[in-house]
Structure 1
Amino acid sequence: MAAACARSLVKVGWTILESPALRRPGTGALLSGNAGSHVSRRSYYYGGAGPGARSGLLRSLLGGGGGGSRALSCAFLLGGGVGLYHTVKFYWAQQRQLAQVPAPDGPSPSASPSLTLYQYQTCPFCSKVRAFLDYHGLAYRVVEVNPVMRREIKWSAYRKVPILMVDEHLQLNDSSVIISSLKTYLISKGSSMSDIVRCYPEMKSVNDSGKEVTEYNNKYWLMLSQDDAAAVYPDKGMQKEEMKWRQWADDWLVHLISPNVYRSAGEALASFDYIVREGKFGALEGFFAKYAGAAAMFVIGKRLKRRHNLQDDVRQDLYKAVDDWVAAVGRKRKFMGGEQPNLADLAVFGVLRVMEGLEAFDDMMANTKVKPWYQRMQAATRNHDGCSRLSR
């Protein structure tokens, strides 16, 4: 989380220092930017600061003259630089410990491939993948990617996370493709991962902002034989229901995280206080990272609220979404999958748990009916309940 925010702060600081308005003596900090910035796939870094986001942020924060603006710019740069320093330090410390990290508790299938997950810890899409792996008791190695430099994935043409490497040679991109491919592999007999992945071809297109985007065909489908599909989805409509809510988690629920985490200046500050504690910042460097980062992400959170047409009180959108999910599960089922979670359960759980420890999460638990289901999901993933259901 600290590294992703550091990346935003460094970019914002450089934008201020390099602006023509700041370079001319006696000129106020009047910056303009492009409106078509893209949204990052990180929970607390979600909605990252592209040019339009930076200019909107700076117009809100830099109302004074050049001297005050330069001082605030330095604060942004220092805060971002400090975050980057600690991210790199944490990464190398983590690499030294990788050989000592034990596999998850519980059995894993003997035919399970070697898995390496490249991720950001607080990314909701990465959390979805971890929820799936943990539930099924699959051993995997984690590589935390530095979101500023991204050296850990410099070998990949695909520059996002999560990335899952299978047996060190097969690369799987996109959280939903990763989950669908692995689930198909665990159920099907005689199918190789290479063959399965070919069922999820890439499709490249250009979005409204003129940026090339990559999507994947069939990513919510499991590629199963008729007999396997009947065993996994014994009741009519189960497969369509699972696919519908998996897509809902990606297309709607994810977009509610950042506006709620950074809903107010106080919540933004509390979120960055958590970032500083996790990053083990010193008193002075933590001060800059905490306050500059909180200010930046508070403004970006407001932009995301407008972009996704959320209510003034974004909590209400979160509460409604979560209660809609609980209503879809119903009173007669422990999970949407029945007695055991299905892929929709794991997706929704993976997205929601990135808020744990923050005010938004506590409010959600207190003001919705999600708590019993959520606690069952915590137990199912912690105990690797999916191990006993693997047929491979």
Structure 2
Amino acid sequence: MLTNMAAACTRSLLKVGWTMLDSPAIRRPGTIAYLYRRAYGTWCSGETGGRSRLLSSLRGGGSRALGCAFLLGGGLGLYHTVKFYWVQQHLAQEHPKESDRGVRLTLYQYKTCPFCSKVRAFLDYHGLAYEIVEVNPVMRQEIKWSTYRKVPILMVDEDVQLNDSSVIVSSLKTYLASKEKNMADILRCYPEMKSVNEGGKEVMEYNNKYWLMLSEADTALVYPEKGMQKEEMKWRKWADDWLVHLISPNVYRTTGEALASFDYIVREGKFGSLEGFFAKYVGAAAMFIIAKRLKSRHNLQDDVRQDLYKAVNDWVAAIGKTRKFMGGDCPNLADLAVFGVLRVMEGLQAFDDMMANTKVKHWYRRMETATQNHQGRH
């Protein structure tokens, strides 16, 4: 719709410009007003003062200058219309409205959230088409319709709501592997359960969230070797319970790193100008303090980088020297979870330090290729 409006406006500008340059009658009183009304239908309200000044300026040779201006405006409009249309077409090819299995997926997220990144890694690897709704982390108006107030949220066909990153991934993997169950039935296998955390706060948990709900035959296809399923579940849980808690203390380790991190968050997130300014400086200060508390809560070392390095090297050691991925020749759900968590540090000092001081680089680059090329599509 926006493309059509821009194209129509461009055509009008070009038409007016050429007419003004070619017509000898252009200097007659009222002609410009007529052309403008013809192009746009009517004068904009509140613009009558501007109209009289415009007409006065056209006496003498001003009409030709204005004609050139209309042509310039039309040319620029045509350029941006074509560019916008190309971008739309490119994005439509990259993320078509409907996935290969005929379901429509909409992901509500914060781009820099590690749990959201986990879900995107899964969707990209399996070549599932999805739309993204970036949620404003302050107002969260985009998810005001939901009683569940966290992200990620994945809507399936606009009527089935999946919450919690691990539930989303397990449900979708079950759906892809079973080829017979619908999403509503699968979701019933992951019931909600309220509990109280260490701080005395009531939280929502989900039973079975690391399990795939498959038949024996389908399970054998997904996990052809003994112990594969157990190993995958163990490391998926490790990514949620340990690895993710190392991110904040490392990216907000110093005031400089905190500011750099929030500069990235504001650029990538859905913030207004004023809101972004306050988010950057107030948020950076707040997260620097929170990172120190997290460091204490999780008993991290004074140099939190060492905990990150150890965790990442433990992960690489678990994969071993004979496998490309924990899943063997192809990534499994644990690979995708760890990759999704680590990926949110890209562009920050913590990421560069991790790549330089651990053995994760080769595995990480293989994961990048696998997700970018949608290698799990088939």
Q: TM-score, normalised by structure 1?
A: 0.70
Residue 90 of structure 1: aligned partner: none
Please tell me whether residue 353 in structure 1 is matched to residue 343 in structure 2. yes
Question: Is the 1:112–1:138 Cα contact (8 Å) retained in structure 2?
Answer: no
Change (3 A) 1:188 1:149: same
Change (3 A) 1:363 1:99: same
**Once the 2 structures are TM-superposed, how far is the Cα of residue 212 of structure 1 from its aligned partner?**
1.7
Distance 1:150 1:348 in 2: 27
SS of the equivalent of 1:155 reads coil
Larger Rg: 2
User: What is the 5 A alignment of 1:253-272?
Assistant: 253-272=243-262
Residue 235 of structure 1: aligned partner: 225
Residue 363 of structure 1: aligned partner: 353
Distance 1:163 1:279 in 2: 16
**204, 212, 215: which one aligns with 2:205:** 215
1:139-186 CA distance string (max 9 Å, x none): 001111112111111111111111110000000110000000000110
Residue 320 of structure 2: aligned partner: 330
User: Which stretch shifts more, 290-299 or 329-338?
Assistant: 290-299
**292, 311, 333: which one aligns with 1:343:** 333
Please tell me whether residue 312 in structure 1 is matched to residue 302 in structure 2. yes
Question: Is the 1:118–1:142 Cα contact (8 Å) retained in structure 2?
Answer: yes
SS of the equivalent of 2:204 reads strand
Distance 2:208 2:265 in 1: 37
Residue 55 of structure 1: aligned partner: none
Q: Residue type of the partner of 1:293?
A: G
Distance 1:108 1:382 in 2: 19
**Once the 2 structures are TM-superposed, how far is the Cα of residue 292 of structure 1 from its aligned partner?**
3.5
**185, 191, 195: which one aligns with 2:185:** 195
Distance 1:361 1:277 in 2: 18
**104, 113, 120: which one aligns with 2:110:** 120
**Once the 2 structures are TM-superposed, how far is the Cα of residue 291 of structure 1 from its aligned partner?**
3.8
Change (3 A) 1:292 1:205: closer
Change (3 A) 1:143 1:333: same
User: What is the 5 A alignment of 1:152-171?
Assistant: 152-171=142-161
**Once the 2 structures are TM-superposed, how far is the Cα of residue 255 of structure 1 from its aligned partner?**
0.1
SS of the equivalent of 1:355 reads coil
Please tell me whether residue 377 in structure 1 is matched to residue 364 in structure 2. no
Distance 2:364 2:341 in 1: 12
Change (3 A) 1:105 1:302: same
User: Which stretch shifts more, 146-155 or 304-313?
Assistant: 146-155
**Once the 2 structures are TM-superposed, how far is the Cα of residue 296 of structure 1 from its aligned partner?**
2.3
Residue 88 of structure 1: aligned partner: none
Please tell me whether residue 321 in structure 1 is matched to residue 311 in structure 2. yes
Change (3 A) 1:343 1:276: closer
Residue 93 of structure 1: aligned partner: none
Change (3 A) 1:240 1:107: farther
1:97-149 CA distance string (max 9 Å, x none): 99984253799863241100011100000000000000000000111111211
Q: Give unpaired runs (5+ residues) of structure 2.
A: 1-86
**Once the 2 structures are TM-superposed, how far is the Cα of residue 299 of structure 1 from its aligned partner?**
1.5
Residue 56 of structure 1: aligned partner: none
Question: Is the 1:246–1:347 Cα contact (8 Å) retained in structure 2?
Answer: yes
Question: Is the 1:105–1:137 Cα contact (8 Å) retained in structure 2?
Answer: no
Question: Is the 1:108–1:387 Cα contact (8 Å) retained in structure 2?
Answer: no
- CA RMSD between the two structures: 2.6
Residue 130 of structure 2: aligned partner: 140
Question: Is the 2:98–2:104 Cα contact (8 Å) retained in structure 1?
Answer: no
**Once the 2 structures are TM-superposed, how far is the Cα of residue 274 of structure 1 from its aligned partner?**
3.2
Residue 39 of structure 1: aligned partner: none
Distance 1:344 1:240 in 2: 11
Distance 1:147 1:277 in 2: 13
User: What is the 5 A alignment of 1:93-112?
Assistant: 101-104=91-94, 110-112=100-102
SS of the equivalent of 2:100 reads coil
User: What is the 5 A alignment of 1:251-290?
Assistant: 251-275=241-265, 278=268, 289-290=279-280
SS of the equivalent of 2:108 reads strand
Distance 1:216 1:278 in 2: 30
Question: Is the 2:170–2:211 Cα contact (8 Å) retained in structure 1?
Answer: yes
Question: Is the 1:203–1:216 Cα contact (8 Å) retained in structure 2?
Answer: yes
Q: TM-score, normalised by structure 2?
A: 0.72
Distance 1:99 1:201 in 2: 40
Q: Residue type of the partner of 1:323?
A: N
**Once the 2 structures are TM-superposed, how far is the Cα of residue 190 of structure 1 from its aligned partner?**
1.6
Distance 2:125 2:145 in 1: 29
SS of the equivalent of 1:381 reads helix
- What is the number of residues matched between the two proteins? 292
Change (3 A) 1:168 1:103: farther
Q: Residue type of the partner of 2:287?
A: M
SS of the equivalent of 2:344 reads helix
Q: Residue type of the partner of 1:156?
A: S
Change (3 A) 1:242 1:283: closer
**226, 232, 239: which one aligns with 1:249:** 239
Distance 2:201 2:271 in 1: 37
**Once the 2 structures are TM-superposed, how far is the Cα of residue 288 of structure 1 from its aligned partner?**
5.6
Q: Identity rate of aligned residues, in percent?
A: 78
Distance 2:276 2:97 in 1: 41
